[in-house]
Structure 1
């Protein structure tokens, strides 16, 4: 039995070693830029594919007559002779007068280039594709673009550019199927396609991506186009995704200073798309410390009167125990671009008043201030899915300047000065392999004034800035938070993550201070109907102090995209 197995093993080994190998011998290999004149392959098909690829490479370089003259097999060896031919230098492309306006409007192409165009099939193909794309995006989906060769000459060939536009096609009607709670005009603004506009292939292909950027709308199935003699009808299949909410936590605890009972908690009311116009009303009250509370209100109304313009207003109230009360009012006019990006100009009023708890001993530290600021901001959205991106870029830049009037505590004089504010938020999402993502981000804020008071400082720390620290426990006049985050995408709306945050900040109020706190940890974010809920465990360190497990933080909250 052992002898039989040994014989079978030897026969199997002989068969493996005797697998067929094919050889390729190339005549004048150096002339055709081959590294060697003899190659080996496993199959005949590989030999043929290899030769075809080399032929195409020569054609792309301008040797358009390159060919395989002969291919002869002798046993397991293929003998090949190639023809390279002369390199064609350029081609003069003639354009009909009625088509000149198309060339002028097509990106990266002009009449001068057409007069002396490099004879490269790759460049010619790219040029024809650009012209075809322009026509497809301006109402001519049935257009044809090609070259008609008049003469082929080594020093200069001639050709006619043939453009057959076909019929002009406009979007005659848009049908929103599925849910009656979705306003058709709002959908038209979101997808940037309106009735009566010329057919645009790029906009049609981008419908699904733009719908995905809207949290309260879901696509049932991809949009469809029905071409008719009078034009094209667009069918969009959508359903409403309710995101309005009311939730909160309220607690009662004694005030350690006054010994009175105080109310703490976090309550939020969010109403969105109740009028079917994508409008938002968001109210959030929170109080984490005794006698300190914050109220935030926001009203956003996009696409007013069926235009790209919208309004964005905010009101913030912050009361710091018995020291001061700060009010902020923000009124902006947005201009929406493709894909959820927008420009905004705004007016901002900052008003901070001192309360009875601010004593004369704090002279120079606090001040009653009132500022009128005017600014501009830009939000750029180039991610694949804003709820849980796997690739792309998010940028928000904001800058404002204004006049501030201040009255220091204990003084009767009023000082007038110029102030400046700037903010940059940037996030880059880099796909590594399937479902594994790296997020790199930076948030930078700065405030400039001749003298800055404590009740004007930025408050940061917590879930949305520097994790590993209590919410708004750090104060600064300038700060820059760098984050690196590894994400594993669990599903379309959820991911697990590990992160490291590092902040560099300075505080120039009263006396100069600076530090570079950092935090790191693990977390999980999962999608719900009302937003992305995130929870994370973090450790942090500041002032070069060692990490203390007992000071660890658990951050949780909703991350909503409007």
Structure 2
């Protein structure tokens, strides 16, 4: 019996010893005064972490001015290590000489520095070196002389080989062409290596709506050249979106009106940043809109994007507006994107029966407007397609000459005394802000404003607002406005990357000079869901809007739902 108990005891002791030895790697130390600190044990997961900790102790001491700091290993028993830490005297300040350090990097002053300032100086020099083609540069103190607590030394820098940019490479399943990515990154082949340029290029590539960046790029150094390697995977950025609207039929009370919208957006065709989009909307039985746009990135190897647009709006039996434009876009090294554009707009009356006997220019007329402008975008969102935080700001302004054409269906006296050719100006701005509160909670806030000015401003010149993209709870393009401001507030409960439930409230102030009460206040509230599937996003929005003419009532509610297919 005693032998069994003794065997069990030794087995228990061996197991406990084994468990204890696997618990970690232990460290105990003594200071330079040989004071016993054996009770101060520190445990690490492995010996590598323990050695790293010891090295960091010495490094910190050096940075604080204890240049004689060192560690002496007294006893090493596998998982337990005893060491002695020598600190030595502290150097209070140091006087530096220029040495072989070029004044292009930094100009050394004669004033003494503490070691914190010296360390910062070293970091600044190395940062300058790695941004001017020398990523392997090193710097040290040379010709040291000590006088009490002061040290004098010369700086000695070793730049290493000069490195220049070479062509970048792409890994992954992306269809992106290397030439396109090279232009997007703004890294010039043959230019000196720059760590700062690489970081900026990584941000630009990572913000592309066409693909995802799988971490920081690798750098292949070979023959004094640096070739960055980007890991890319294509996004489902193409869009096929159809929305069906069920609205009360204002012309036939008691019945509903089915409206529709189709959005087709094809991005990054051929892996070259080539985009094509088609947008069609039907607001009511007689009103429709068509928008076409195509963009080519980095035309002829330049930094310019060129786009063309065409728009047609048929407003019931009143007028037809057409717009044809050309855009020249430029992406700066910062997050700013500049879009220079010129447009030719035309408006023609469909019927002049209502104007046969007018004596002054009616609210709608035939016109031609040559418009020139600039649109600037500052995009600081964390994701282009499904942002959770960040801000995006847009500002556009344009000017040009508008000419009113005389229509034979309108009495000639209506045009008498009018300057038929006048300057016209417009200004628009928009901001959106995403707040990331918690893992599943966020808030979207947006605001937009605009104004347009002309001596002979027409109703078919005015901005069109209302609907899912501006003030919800109203028909698409329900409002006409010379000046407008609206704000959207939308708390979101996220169910996935691009799936969320939301409540919203929209508030708008609009001015239409052709209304008796020209200032219109619009308010809408509602809720909805955006649910992402493998092939697209399902959206459902229920909204109720209020104006002076329309009470806040479920009788005037709007339901919008659709399925946005991404492929």
The change in CA–CA distance for 1:146 and 1:86 in structure 2 (over 3 A counts) is closer
RMSD of Structure 2 on Structure 1 (CA): 4.3
- Could you tell which deviates more after superposition, 137-146 or 530-539? 530-539
Which residue pairs with 2:450 in the alignment? 445
Report the CA distance between 1:133 and its aligned residue. Answer: 2.9
Q: Is the 8 A contact 2:240 2:565 kept in 1?
A: no
- Could you tell which deviates more after superposition, 91-100 or 401-410? 91-100
Q: Please give the per-residue CA displacement for 1:432-452, whole angstroms capped at 9, x wherever unaligned.
A: 333433333221111111232
Cα distance in 1 between the residues matched to 2:149 and 2:546: 71
- Could you tell which deviates more after superposition, 150-159 or 136-145? 150-159
Structure 2 residue 341 is the aligned partner of structure 1 residue 346? yes
Which residue pairs with 1:386 in the alignment? 384
The change in CA–CA distance for 1:534 and 1:313 in structure 2 (over 3 A counts) is farther
Q: Please give the per-residue CA displacement for 1:295-341, whole angstroms capped at 9, x wherever unaligned.
A: 10011111112222111222111011111110112211111124764
Cα distance in 2 between the residues matched to 1:527 and 1:446: 36
Report the CA distance between 1:294 and its aligned residue. Answer: 0.5
Structure 2 residue 217 is the aligned partner of structure 1 residue 223? yes
Cα distance in 2 between the residues matched to 1:147 and 1:433: 49
Cα distance in 2 between the residues matched to 1:338 and 1:527: 33
Cα distance in 1 between the residues matched to 2:551 and 2:259: 31
Which residue pairs with 1:306 in the alignment? 301
Taking the TM superposition and a 5 Å limit, the aligned residue runs for 1:142-181 are 142-145=136-139, 160-179=154-173, 181=175
The change in CA–CA distance for 1:86 and 1:464 in structure 2 (over 3 A counts) is same
Q: Which of residues 356, 366, 369 is equivalent to 2:364?
A: 366
Q: Is the 8 A contact 2:200 2:333 kept in 1?
A: no
Aligned length: 479
Which residue pairs with 1:100 in the alignment? 103
Matched position secondary structure for 1:215: coil
Which residue pairs with 1:184 in the alignment? 178
Report the CA distance between 1:463 and its aligned residue. Answer: 1.3
Which residue pairs with 2:471 in the alignment? 466
Which residue pairs with 1:513 in the alignment? 518
Cα distance in 2 between the residues matched to 1:161 and 1:440: 53
Cα distance in 2 between the residues matched to 1:457 and 1:241: 37
Q: Which of residues 262, 266, 289 is equivalent to 2:284?
A: 289
The change in CA–CA distance for 1:324 and 1:234 in structure 2 (over 3 A counts) is same
Which residue pairs with 2:204 in the alignment? 210
Matched position secondary structure for 2:495: strand
Q: Gapped runs of 5+ residues in structure 1?
A: 1-42, 47-55, 66-84, 104-110
TM-score, normalization: structure 1? 0.72
Q: Is the 8 A contact 2:245 2:560 kept in 1?
A: no
Cα distance in 2 between the residues matched to 1:263 and 1:434: 38
Q: Please give the per-residue CA displacement for 1:326-370, whole angstroms capped at 9, x wherever unaligned.
A: 011221111112476411211122211111156215943112121
The change in CA–CA distance for 1:263 and 1:434 in structure 2 (over 3 A counts) is closer
Q: Is the 8 A contact 1:419 1:448 kept in 2?
A: yes
Report the CA distance between 1:420 and its aligned residue. Answer: 0.9
Cα distance in 1 between the residues matched to 2:502 and 2:365: 42
Q: Gapped runs of 5+ residues in structure 2?
A: 1-38, 43-56, 67-89
Q: Is the 8 A contact 1:174 1:194 kept in 2?
A: no
Matched position secondary structure for 1:186: helix
Q: Is the 8 A contact 2:243 2:561 kept in 1?
A: no
Report the CA distance between 1:462 and its aligned residue. Answer: 1.4
TM-score, normalization: structure 2? 0.71
Q: Please give the per-residue CA displacement for 1:91-118, whole angstroms capped at 9, x wherever unaligned.
A: 8755458622234xxxxxxx5xx53879
Q: Please give the per-residue CA displacement for 1:537-559, whole angstroms capped at 9, x wherever unaligned.
A: 22322229652123222344688
Report the CA distance between 1:282 and its aligned residue. Answer: 0.8
The change in CA–CA distance for 1:405 and 1:560 in structure 2 (over 3 A counts) is farther
Cα distance in 1 between the residues matched to 2:373 and 2:470: 23
Q: Which of residues 498, 504, 521 is equivalent to 1:493?
A: 498
The change in CA–CA distance for 1:538 and 1:165 in structure 2 (over 3 A counts) is farther
- Could you tell which deviates more after superposition, 217-226 or 134-143? 217-226
Cα distance in 2 between the residues matched to 1:99 and 1:455: 66
Q: Please give the per-residue CA displacement for 1:268-302, whole angstroms capped at 9, x wherever unaligned.
A: 43333333211111112221211211110011111
The change in CA–CA distance for 1:301 and 1:543 in structure 2 (over 3 A counts) is same
Q: Which of residues 129, 134, 137 is equivalent to 2:131?
A: 137
The change in CA–CA distance for 1:94 and 1:301 in structure 2 (over 3 A counts) is farther
Cα distance in 1 between the residues matched to 2:304 and 2:328: 7
